[in-house]
Structure 1
Amino acid sequence: MAAKGYGTYHGRSRLRPALKVVIVLLVVLLVLAVATLLLMDGHIVYSSDGIRLDLPFVQKGGAEDPPEPAGSAPLVIDSPVPTPAPTATPEPETLMQGVLLPREALYDGTAEEQVRRAGAAAAVFDMKADDGSLGYISSLELAQAGGVSAADPAINGAIRGLNAGELYTVARVSCFRDNAIPRADMSLGIKSSAGNWRDEGDCRWLSAANAAARQYVIGVCAELAELGFDELLLENCAFPARGQVDYIVAGENYDPDGLTDALETFCRELEEALADYPQLKVSFGSSQAVLTGEANDRSGQTAAWLAEHAWRVYVAVPAGDESAYEQTLRAAGLPAGRLVPVTEAPAGAGENWAVLTRTPTE
């Protein structure tokens, strides 16, 4: 029988020391694992192939770049090359196919229809005729003194309206062949021993050597530019070359050795006066004698002078000889396609031509 207050003693358990050892080992392993992670933190590499340990003492030699995958092409970066701006292609020269219309077409609304019926593309108006009359109202004193302006007070407005449209308009100007102004002011004309010299058509001439005469013609051109014409056709921009030219008296208004110089001065002054109208084309009428270089031509014009100052050159040439005259102008420096043959009827569809009717003189 057991003593009162005491239980039966079974002795110390054998598993307790073993558990303690296991616990101690686990703690040691945990500490070592944590320490290892801390030490290896800078050597763990994460890549697309997974996680790898990159230990410095394992590498042989210096650090090398990993080899490129087989078959991969090197990366090439092309810098963009600036593309130069395209050069504008010049437009081909527009053909001149013009027909002279009566002055009434300036205001009666028929100009475009008349041009179309003629098979033309441009309307030519005689704005300063050989007789000196003007197809508009001028504010120039000489024009008023000579009574050469148009009578219709609404004509200038009608001209501006026409020129504001699509129709290409050319103002013909008989520069120095003028039967009115030398009669109003004899000091401006070319002289004979009997007074104003007259040509084979009994027409007087202003002198291109006279400064006041030049300024009058230039003033007319400037007024026509302001009215909006696309082109000026300056005919008789010369000294007389037909008729009894031997009767002309040499002097201030006619120096046989300075004819071309006088025309050169006129062109220089004209260019200055038209500086505000850069879009205006200035063309000249000429003759076969000038283009063939006839020694007895006394106009003062030369092929070189035309090439320097003319946009186009209008000349009545024999049919079939156009290329020869164009070659003369091209040799002098005028671009190709600028010769306009003056014809009696429209020519071919792809050719330059102008049908011009002269206004009778008084």
Structure 2
Amino acid sequence: MAGPRGYHSYRGRSPKWKIVLAVLLVLVILGSVGFMMVQERIVYDETGTPHLMVPEKKKEDPPPEEEPVNITIQQTEKNQRLQAVQLGDDPAAWLAEVEAAGGQNAFAVTVKAPGGQLRYPFAEASAVSGASAAKTAAAAAEALPALLEGGRYVIARISCLRDGGVARSNVETMGLKNTGGYIFYDGNNENWLDPSKQATRDYLCALAVECADLGFDEILLTDLTYPTVGKLDKIAYGSDPAYGTQAAYNTEQIANLLAAVKDALGDRDVKLSLELSEAVMGNDGVDETAGIDLWNTLMARLDRVYVPTAEDRVDAMVTDMEEGVLIPELTAVPTTTEYQSYLLLRG
């Protein structure tokens, strides 16, 4: 018996002609779009012939060229090589000595000699009792301007505390006394100024400032120590329990004097240097008798240290020193040393 008749939906395949029609329709649409795009790129030449114009690739702007960076490393003058020659005692011969120098780049003159003699007529010294000027002082005043001009590097040597005339004439205010209250005589029968006295500091500061104002490029202090020969136990050093030992007190007085000179020079464009013995340098810069402790109390205020020595000992001495900081004082131009800074002593 047949089942009930009714409607059943068709679930079979679509006819093939419909699929072909859909594909053709899609191709027609794509062709139309392509034709429109090509039409936008067609150009015609003078003869009417069409040409397809291909868009050029956009050129990217080149990156800006970087300017070269110039780095200049400037060596400080403190560390530059110094090759100096000491000029003689006759100011009239200074320029001739400069001309005869063997290529040195600096010259030194003594303006206050060991013992206290002034080789330049310092204005500040005229008011200090016992300060004596050398016969050549006036000639030095005449010759110095020509020496200082022309771009020459000139050093002024000042002997500080070894000054018999001023010490004897100003025992109470400036002289180094013995334990009996009189002026002290060292093993060479010389007298010294007392670095702990204010008048001593004022005098030496005034000389240094006048040298700077004259135009010297560097001031080299010598004899900035207590005496080291003679009956040293007879010296009335003075004391202060705050320092603990006599050596510490003495060291502080020398350091304070150097600090006073440095402060007095202020912002003047002048270097400040110190001469020490080879024995002191060989003892790590310390001499308790002299009141010297180079590295702990003095070096921070100095630009250079000068040491009288011999050529064959120079390289060993300056192992830890930068070129131009330590200046050996020699009697001949060095030819075998690696370290080539020096002060040549002549006359």
TM-score, length of structure 2 as denominator length: 0.71
Asked whether the 8 Å contact 1:241–1:297 carries over to 2, the reply is no
Q: Which amino acid aligns with 2:276?
A: S
**Residue 268 and residue 108 in structure 1: after superposition, are their counterparts in 2 closer, same or farther (change >3 A)?**
closer
Asked whether the 8 Å contact 2:262–2:301 carries over to 1, the reply is no
Instruction: Tell whether 2:243 aligns with 1:258.
Output: no
- 1:302 match: 293
RMSD: 3.4
Determine helix, strand or coil for the equivalent of 2:343. strand
Deviation at 1:84, TM superposition (A): 4.0
Deviation at 1:346, TM superposition (A): 2.6
Of 188-197 and 140-149, more deviation after overlay is shown by 140-149
Instruction: Tell whether 2:89 aligns with 1:103.
Output: yes
Instruction: Tell whether 2:341 aligns with 1:355.
Output: no
**Residue 293 and residue 77 in structure 1: after superposition, are their counterparts in 2 closer, same or farther (change >3 A)?**
same
Of 293-302 and 124-133, more deviation after overlay is shown by 293-302
Deviation at 1:68, TM superposition (A): 4.0
1:122-201 aligned within 5 A: 122-140=106-124, 144-150=128-134, 153=138, 155-187=140-172, 188-193=174-179, 195-201=182-188
Deviation at 1:290, TM superposition (A): 2.2
Q: 5+ residue gaps in structure 2?
A: 1-38, 46-52
Q: How many residues align?
A: 290
- 2:27 match: none
Q: Which amino acid aligns with 2:216?
A: F
1:10-47 deviations in Å (ceiling 9; x for gaps): xxxxxxxxxxxxxxxxxxxxxxxxxxxxxxxxxxx999
User: What is the alpha-carbon distance in structure 1 between the residues aligned to residue 215 and residue 123 of structure 2?
Assistant: 16
Determine helix, strand or coil for the equivalent of 1:103. coil
1:225-249 deviations in Å (ceiling 9; x for gaps): 1111222111111222233322212
Asked whether the 8 Å contact 2:164–2:190 carries over to 1, the reply is yes
1:1-362 aligned within 5 A: 49=43, 68-69=55-56, 72=57, 74-79=59-64, 81=66, 83-90=68-75, 93-105=79-91, 109-116=95-102, 120-140=104-124, 144-150=128-134, 153=138, 155-187=140-172, 188-193=174-179, 195-251=182-238, 256-278=247-269, 280-293=270-283, 297-304=288-295, 305-327=297-319, 330=320, 335-348=322-335, 351-356=340-345
User: What is the alpha-carbon distance in structure 1 between the residues aligned to residue 128 and residue 236 of structure 2?
Assistant: 28
**Residue 316 and residue 108 in structure 1: after superposition, are their counterparts in 2 closer, same or farther (change >3 A)?**
closer
Asked whether the 8 Å contact 1:326–1:339 carries over to 2, the reply is yes
User: What is the alpha-carbon distance in structure 2 between the residues aligned to residue 49 and residue 218 of structure 1?
Assistant: 96
1:341-360 deviations in Å (ceiling 9; x for gaps): 222333228622223379xx
Deviation at 1:286, TM superposition (A): 0.6
Identity %: 24
TM-score, length of structure 1 as denominator length: 0.68
Determine helix, strand or coil for the equivalent of 1:335. coil
Higher-Rg structure is: 1
Of 144-153 and 227-236, more deviation after overlay is shown by 144-153
Deviation at 1:173, TM superposition (A): 0.8
**Residue 86 and residue 76 in structure 1: after superposition, are their counterparts in 2 closer, same or farther (change >3 A)?**
same
Asked whether the 8 Å contact 2:167–2:193 carries over to 1, the reply is yes
- 2:50 match: none
Determine helix, strand or coil for the equivalent of 2:210. helix
Asked whether the 8 Å contact 1:97–1:354 carries over to 2, the reply is yes
User: What is the alpha-carbon distance in structure 2 between the residues aligned to residue 91 and residue 48 of structure 1?
Assistant: 74
1:35-90 deviations in Å (ceiling 9; x for gaps): xxxxxxxxxx9999569xxxxxxxxxxxxxx9643xx5741342454654533343
Deviation at 1:110, TM superposition (A): 2.2
**Residue 320 and residue 143 in structure 1: after superposition, are their counterparts in 2 closer, same or farther (change >3 A)?**
farther
- 1:8 match: none
Asked whether the 8 Å contact 1:235–1:286 carries over to 2, the reply is yes
**Residue 314 and residue 296 in structure 1: after superposition, are their counterparts in 2 closer, same or farther (change >3 A)?**
closer
Determine helix, strand or coil for the equivalent of 2:257. helix
Deviation at 1:320, TM superposition (A): 2.9
Deviation at 1:261, TM superposition (A): 1.6
